[in-house]
Chain A
């Protein structure tokens, strides 16, 4: 029984994941996806989405006339995403394999709450691959959890986030991890940061970087 409880906690479904992320970001992640699609994606753009999940962002971008390629490692997520964004090309692929998609092919590479799922070595590797995949002047747009700047802000954010994360985990068995030193990783991979926004007391950030 105790191992059954454990395996239940490990079990993931697209619906549970979406609920978890909405709860953990207090609904902000949906607004950020709309902001990405509205402000950074134009009709005719070739866009790669790393970790397309259940396809919400892919649907918004195809709706604006972009040619969207999405990758994810979860087949259940891809099944849901194919229904949500029928105009997008969606593949089962790891982030580390994006080099197979061809160099200099994309105007935008976007990713929400996916980089924090990767190990630090994977993040560095994928950022370097992303730089190769983008056309000159193309943008990488990443929205993910980060650590707030300053001790006071971290303490306040932690006091809110800890109970929220506990409730989210109990209800949906999902959580997120904060990215660390992401701006410096972007620089090491050859990107130049052009915009950065923070949300929810600095715990969620949107990075827009340009291929240097």
Chain B
């Protein structure tokens, strides 16, 4: 019964930490040459890793690191899955006395928190970033233990993942809107119980259909879904339960609004897009990862840790370069792991990403749309640059442009 409840919670509430005891797990009958893998202590992840390795008949040592019960990617981003976390689990489990080698396989998605070079230097182990998805662990270990194939480094968003993330999106937006809806129900009786299932269905649909809905990712795709759902609602009402024209209009408008909200929130539930208000609403890409060519030593690590394939090798210059900026989800793994600090995120032209710059630039953008062309001195970038004292605002001063 407890296991069933746990599974139901893990289906809907993946956003919330769910810790399992950190420590060493023996998968099969590992020996002194068996691979050593590291993962987070989010119960579902540990369970999936063990199940996959057992299914593939792989004997291994699994270090479950204390990441506060948070999944790999989120823990890495939040600073709970770092080189420190891995060093701590190596020392406390005594794995050094159980194996003859010093190779350590990390989840690729931990690279936004785990610094390869720090870990290597301080632990004395040789870290390797494994595949992005647990399902590819068997193939990775069987074919070539120390190098990922390019297809195993890329995150995908298959139908099963889209369904699961859709249910989680539905659960979480319902949580966010439950209280306002309950309050609004005092004036519009029944609004909350009619809206919450609708939100849930729209969330699952927005995730499942994301590749096929027309429009750009975000609000546009949400509105496309809203139009489809509104049309379905009108037809269903016409056939099954006739409504007055004003009631029908109010409901279709409500469905459109909810779908737009869900569409706006959906990218943050996917591994392929990030939720950036400026990017999704105003079409401004704030992330601008660049490689400083003079600093690049072609170590290949940026390409290894990038889950979306932003980087490519230029055979002519013998350097890595940004070849697919549109795919960047700004996870920061490349910046964290570049040994020469050759990768920078310039955000916008010479301006850091602090709220001052966001607001000033947003105003400038709206002004520009009305036909007012900013002068050099009053251009959003110039004004923001003069208003922005990088670092003073608490933002990362290192994001300032070259």
Please report A residues at the B interface, Cβ cutoff 8 Å: 1-7, 10-12, 73, 94-97, 118-122, 124-125
Contacts and interface: CB of A to CB of B under 8 A. Distances in A.
Given A10-B70, A95-B88, A97-B87, A3 B78 contact: no
B268 A96 contact: no
Interface residues of B, number: 29
Contact of B66 (A1, A4, A6, A119): A119
Given A1-B275, A7-B77, A11-B78, A122 B176 contact: no
Contacts of B77: 7
B373 to A, nearest CB: 33
B122 interface: yes
A120 B268 CA distance: 34
A2 B88 contact: no
The 6 closest A-B pairs by CB, nearest first: A10-B78, A2-B172, A3-B268, A96-B91, A125-B92, A96-B88
A118 B22 CA distance: 10
A5 B265 CA distance: 11
Given A7-B77, A95-B88, A96-B91, A119 B265 contact: no
A5 B169 CA distance: 13
A3 to B, nearest CB: 4
A104 B92 CA distance: 21
Interface string B73-101: 01001111010100110011100000000
Interface in B19-37: 21-23
A3 B93 contact: no
A7 B74 CA distance: 8
12 contacts: A1-B176, A2-B15, A2-B173, A4-B275, A6-B15, A10-B80, A96-B88, A97-B87, A97-B88, A119-B21, A119-B92, A121-B23
A155 B206 CA distance: 46
Most chain A beta carbons < 10 A, residue from B79, B173, B264, B275 = B79
A121 B84 CA distance: 15
Given A6-B15, A12-B79, A97-B122, A122 B88 contact: yes
B125 interface: no
A94 B74 CA distance: 21
B346 to A, nearest CB: 22
Contact of A96 (B74, B87, B265): B87
Interface in B246-282: 264-265, 268-269, 275
B22 to A, nearest CB: 5
Given A2-B172, A4-B275, A119-B21, A97 B70 contact: no
A67 B314 CA distance: 53
A1 B74 CA distance: 15
Contacts of B82: 73
A125 B264 CA distance: 46
B66 A122 contact: yes
A94 B91 CA distance: 10
B78 A7 contact: yes
Contacts of A96: 87-88, 91-92
Nearest to B68: A10
A121 B169 CA distance: 35
A160 B112 CA distance: 39
B176 A121 contact: no
Interface string B60-77: 000000100010001001
Most chain B beta carbons < 10 A, residue from A2, A7, A11, A12 = A2
Contact of B92 (A2, A3, A12, A121): A121
Nearest to A11: B78
A198 to B, nearest CB: 27
Contacts of A120: 21
Contacts of B93: 121
A3 B269 contact: yes
Contacts of A6: 15, 74
A143 B268 CA distance: 40
B278 to A, nearest CB: 13
Given A7-B78, A119-B23, 13 more contacts: A2-B15, A2-B173, A2-B175, A6-B15, A7-B74, A10-B70, A10-B78, A11-B78, A94-B87, A97-B88, A119-B66, A121-B23, A122-B88
Interface in B368-398: none
Nearest to A95: B88
A114 B169 CA distance: 35
Interface string B1-43: 0000000000000010000011100000000000000000000
Contacts of A118: 66
A61 B295 CA distance: 44
A111 to B, nearest CB: 15
A94 to B, nearest CB: 5
B169 A2 contact: yes
Most chain A beta carbons < 10 A, residue from B70, B78, B264 = B78
A10 B88 CA distance: 21
A118 B198 CA distance: 43
Given A1-B268, A12-B79, A97-B91, A73 B23 contact: no
Contact of B265 (A1, A7, A10, A97): A1
